Amino acid sequence: MTTFKSTHHIDRKCIVIKLGGSTLEGLNEAFFSNFKHLQEQGYDIIITHGGGPAINQELAQKNVESHTINGIRVTSESAIGIVQSTLIGKVNPKLVYELNKAGISAIGLSGFDQLLLHADYLDQTTYGYVGEVIEVNTLLLQSLLSQGFIPVIACIGVTMEGQALNINGDSVASAVALAVNAESLLLVTDVSGIRIDDVYQSQATPSDIEKWIEEGQIYGGMIPKVQGAIQVLNAGIPSVQIVNDSLKGTNIISQELSKLK
């Protein structure tokens, strides 16, 4: 996990919600109702999002090849402009519009807004124009939250020289959650959490997850997601939840917290 700085910690209870690209197409009324319910409970909400399917479509239309290494999209010089324009110009405004239409005050952001996501190259030789978060401008987030807005952050970072960098969605969500000292990080996917023996688990610990991976009960794309969740948990966020678009799923908590329950 990236080690990064934050400019300021947010004092109010805060939840960071990461929306994967596949979930953005099917957001329903229950999803927006749960957002309102969290706000009524006194939580500040920050949303981060990717846009993989939309990016794939744009790249294909422009005949720009793309592939992944270790789950990270290799982003060439010709691809970064397409990724940037798709996330900031199409995916982000559409999501903000849907939130506003549902009566939720939201405002779209990217790393370019007051250097919200100061980034540097992850490994330019291997991944090209892919970044890692160095610093999160939490003062900007605090200002928007204090005015009742939900920040909606596209996963584009920027270097000090103004170069856009594509950043993995889970990485951005983790960086923001740690920077604002969030109470919880919710990773919204197209499944209802971790499923073991055909039963979705309401709670899991890192040791549970390690055992399930060894047994082959957690496999495929869920492996990097749960491993990333454990990293965030180990870095200090009390809970990480893998949930569906109704915000229901598996709560991953530390061994210490599980003993107290």
Active site residues: 18, 21, 52, 170, 225
| Contact in structure between 115 and 137 (CB atoms under 8 Å) | yes
Show Cβ contacts of residue 56 under 8 Å, excluding neighbours closer than 6 positions: 66
Determine the Cα–Cα distance for residues 213 and 211; give it in Å rounded to an integer.
5
Determine the Cα–Cα distance for residues 261 and 12; give it in Å rounded to an integer.
24
The vertex-41 CA angle with 140 and 17, nearest 5°, equals 50
Which 8-state DSSP code applies to residue 93?
H
Burial (CB < 10 A; 0-12, 13-18, 19+), residue 11, is exposed
